[in-house]
Structures are given as structure tokens and as C-alpha cells.
Structure 1
């Protein structure tokens, strides 16, 4: 273990992480030990690609590739089209425009420049299609998809101190993406934040970073944020096809699946 903690050769680190996979799985599934996984395996915090590797070891190549393969070809355009049937709002209209825009159009439009890129906009549209879960009796009032979005991805300008951002967190947030760039449409780096710990994404694309974010829930056995639970459940059962029939789904998840796969 000490070799892996201080080794500088990435290939050696990844091989050692493969060897210790079962030990790590047992650890994350143990409630008393799960919070210490990043202490025991700190290379998640400086070696990119370890989340994807662990997910691949857990589920295999075919399952691991499903989001990146199926979102652009099967789901993205259908999500955009279904979003156009929702009650109109300013936030929704901007997301639809951004999701449909080409990179050339983004550069020429101030509204599109200030929005997320096409892939991430389409992911957030899925959040609008599958509304946030109810927050319970102690929190009356429905949480909007736009509010829930802030629990999925946070934008900071390039040059912002990630450490200062982490230090400013005063609530225990579950996994989310921190996107660093000159503007929302031009992100240069994504990192995953988990309990004030920073895990770099290997991918520099928004869809790739979201793929890593989703997989991190399984790698670290972390529950979905309640506001994002329905959306994540859809991605788990419909796109990755993990634990179909074993996961409790809301009627809306089943309804949207039927529409998109029709």
C-alpha cells in the first residue's frame, strides 16, 4: 500500500489499484469503513481514470460504455424533443437552445455563450423531464429542476481556487461536478467533489465528466442526491441497465423511458 501511495508511475498505480479492487469494494460496502476509502486509497485524488477503472472492474466493458455510446445516438435528440412538450420557462428555453446549438452558433450568440454546452444542456433537460424527488414533509414546496441543477454541476471561472471553493462548502453535499472554464460553454477542466474531497475527471468533455460522476456513486457506494434521485435512477436502469427490476422507480421514470424508447 505504501508503494501505491508514493509511486509516481501511473501505469503501476493503476495496476496496483486493480489488484486491490476487491479489498476496496469490501471497504466501501462497510458503513464503518466507507468514509475512509479516500484516506486509504488517496490516488483517486491525483490520478485520473481510476473511477472508470473500478466501475469497469465491477460491471465489465459493455456496461461501462453504455452512457457514452447510447446518449448521443439513442437518447439526446429524443430528450430535447420531449423537453419541448414541457410548460415553457426561460431556463428551459435556454437549455433547449443550448442543447440544439452547434459550436459555431454558440460563438455567435451571447445567450448560448453563457449557457452550458450541448451535451450537458441535454443532460440537464433530462432533469427537467424527470423532476426532482419530493423532499418530505419537513420541506414543503416542490424543488425546481433549475434548483436541483446546482446539486449536479457548479461553474467556476478558470483560475478560481478549488481549495477555496471546497473550504466554502458548509453543508454536506453529495457527489457533484465542479466545472472550471472561461464560461459555461467553454469548460477546460472538470473535477468531482465528494465530502470536500477533490477527484479529477479524466475526461475534458461534459458528457465524459458526467459519465465519471455517475460511476463514482457505485465506486464509492454513495447514495444519489435526493433531488437528483429520479434522474439518476433513469440513467442507471434505462441507459446502463443496472439492477433492472430491483430498483424502486417513480412512475415518471417509467413514463419517460417508455416515451424515449418508443
Structure 2
């Protein structure tokens, strides 16, 4: 649990190197700009505008008011694929509330042990520790009141490890994040494509984002 890199190693053993390395080279050149474009068509909210601004920011600039551009664009995907309708035992939550089930910011001056004691989320999530959201020192996968240190020192790499942890530890996706994770599993990692049950919204979003990429490639 304390050794960095074992999540990546075990995921690669479950699949292979080619599957294990799919997110990082694909996200920025293929998906990020298209996700931003689609997110701008959503009903604007302060949280959404903040994420769009951060997703479009330049590296090292002060334009990012929340997480870095890669993580901000991933969170925009969550707005495009919001939580499913609620039920009697699980009321529907908003996309902004679902974000807190995916990544939690923790100030480096505060106690990690206290955070774990107060932990309520049952499924794995990313704990980003630093002085401010755009300046993170370290990442952990938080699961069952344990912290697994991430090997990556960037958001996109840490999130990659979070996704893989679901397979390594045989953990189900949080219900609020099921559309978001299913899209990444089938469309980005190409795991169980055509076998995994997908909502019409996930299928529609894949068609939109990949069709835009094909159009851009053709025009260029």
C-alpha cells in the first residue's frame, strides 16, 4: 500500500503496456479541446466557468483558478456526463457535488489522519495535497480509509492511477460517476468496448467528441 507504482504495475499485468498507456497521450491532443467546446454549450454556472477558464489556461500562468488544465478538462467531462437519475435510496446529485467524489483538495498544512477519520466516500477517489489547487505537492488514492501514494506528480497521471485502482482492487465505480468512468473505460482505454453496458448519453458523447476529432483532422 505504501509503494509507489504498484497500481500501474498490477494494471499492466491485468491488461498490457499498450492499454496501460492510453490516457496520457490521448487526452490532451484528442479529447481536451473537444470536451471544452461541448462544455461551453452547457448552461453556465460559476463552477463551470471556473473549470473552463482553468482548462483553457496556459502552463505556468495565473489563469487557472482551480485545478490544472488537464484535470479541469476531465472535470468538465463529468459535467457532460452527469450522475444518473436518483432512486429511493440514492437521491440524484449535481455534477458539482459529484466532483467531490472524484477529487478532494487537502491543504498540506492539515492532518491527513483527520481527513481519513472523517472520510465518508466509500469508493476510491483522488486526494490532492498542496498549498492551493493549482499547486499540488502530492497525490493519493483514498480507499477504505487508506491512502495509496501515487507515482505521478501531475494530475493527469494521478487520475490515470485512480482509474486503474478500480481494476486492481476490483472496486466498482461510484454510482454518481458511472457514466464518466464508463466513457473513459470504453472510449479512451478501449476496455470492453462493445461489451460494457453504456447509457445513450455515453454513446452520444463518444460520437460527438470523436466525430469532431475526425472533422478537425480532415480539415487540417
Report the TM-score when normalising by structure 1. 0.78
**Structure 2 regions of 5+ residues with no counterpart?**
212-220
Match of residue 125, structure 1, among 60, 76, 79:
76
Match of 2:99 in 1: 149
Match of 2:165 in 1: 216
Match of residue 3, structure 2, among 27, 38, 47:
47
Q: Which has the higher helix share?
A: 1
Q: Could you give the per-residue CA deviations for residues 193-231 of structure 1, whole angstroms, max 9, x where no partner exists?
A: 111011000001000000000000000010000000100
Q: Could you give the per-residue CA deviations for residues 77-122 of structure 1, whole angstroms, max 9, x where no partner exists?
A: 111111111111111111000000013432xx5xx34x11111100
Match of residue 134, structure 1, among 85, 107, 111:
85
Give, in whole Å, the separation in 1 of the partners of 2:53 and 2:173.
Answer: 28
* SS of residue paired to 2:129: strand
8 A Cα contact 1:135 1:226, kept in partner: no
Give, in whole Å, the separation in 2 of the partners of 1:104 and 1:215.
Answer: 28
Give, in whole Å, the separation in 2 of the partners of 1:73 and 1:58.
Answer: 27
Report the TM-score when normalising by structure 2. 0.92
Counterparts of 1:122-201 in structure 2, within 5 Å, are 122-140=73-91, 142-169=92-119, 171-201=120-150
* SS of residue paired to 2:8: helix
**Structure 1 regions of 5+ residues with no counterpart?**
1-44
Runs of 4+ in structure 1 off by over 2 angstroms are 137-140
CA RMSD of aligned residues (A): 1.2
User: If you compute each CA radius of gyration, which structure gives the higher value, 1 or 2?
Assistant: 1
Give, in whole Å, the separation in 1 of the partners of 2:52 and 2:121.
Answer: 31
The size of the alignment, in residue pairs, is: 211
